[in-house]
């Protein structure tokens, strides 16, 4: 059973930075294929895929965060990261880590539907 635990959320002013972490349990990154990703959900809005990263390190981003956010993973620590720079008030949301072993779906538009998800960490950006 894969378990994902996010951390690193908080409150920051516009233009600031945060780094989210997602520790994975019950799964070893180097063992078999897994797509890891982040999605977010703001109050009253639909879930939005943010970024995905493949087992081979290939990354993809939503247009809304491209150039500002960077997804990465540390295989030795079984941990996924999301570095968020130049944050905007519209980035305010609950951020979730997600994972899926399905091949061919490692793109932001699919991340919110992945079968494994964490409990989320809140990010609040004030203007």
| 3-class DSSP state of 4 | strand
Q: What is the pLDDT of residues 4-43, one digit of tens each?
A: 999 999 999 999 999 999 999 987 766 778 899 999 999 9
Residues 49 and 39: their CA atoms lie apart, in Å, by 4
Predicted pLDDT of residue 29:
63
Predicted pLDDT of residue 70:
98
Q: What is the pLDDT of residues 63-86, one digit of tens each?
A: 999 999 999 999 889 999 999 999
Handedness of CA 1, 74, 36, 48 (dihedral sign): positive
Residues 44 and 107: their CA atoms lie apart, in Å, by 23
Predicted pLDDT of residue 75:
87
Residues 44 and 4: their CA atoms lie apart, in Å, by 24
Q: How far is CA 102 from the centre of its chain?
A: 17
Tokens coding 80: 């996924």
- 61 vs 32: which has the higher pLDDT: 61
Half-sphere exposure of 68 (CA within 13 A, CB side): 16
Q: What is the pLDDT of residues 42-56, one digit of tens each?
A: 999 999 999 999 988
């Amino acid at each position: 059973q894969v378990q994902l635990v996010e951390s690193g959320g908080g409150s920051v002013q516009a233009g600031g930075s945060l780094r989210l972490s997602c520790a994975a349990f019950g799964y070893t990154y180097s063992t078999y294929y897994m797509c890891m990703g982040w999605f977010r959900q703001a109050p009253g809005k639909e879930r939005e895929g943010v970024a995905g990263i493949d087992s081979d390190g290939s990354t993809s981003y939503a247009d809304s965060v491209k150039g500002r956010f960077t997804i990465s993973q540390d295989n030795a620590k079984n941990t996924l990261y999301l570095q968020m720079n130049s944050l905007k008030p519209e980035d305010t949301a609950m951020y979730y880590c997600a994972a899926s072993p399905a091949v061919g779906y490692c793109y932001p538009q699919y991340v919110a539907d992945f079968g494994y998800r964490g409990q989320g960490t809140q990010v609040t950006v004030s203007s």
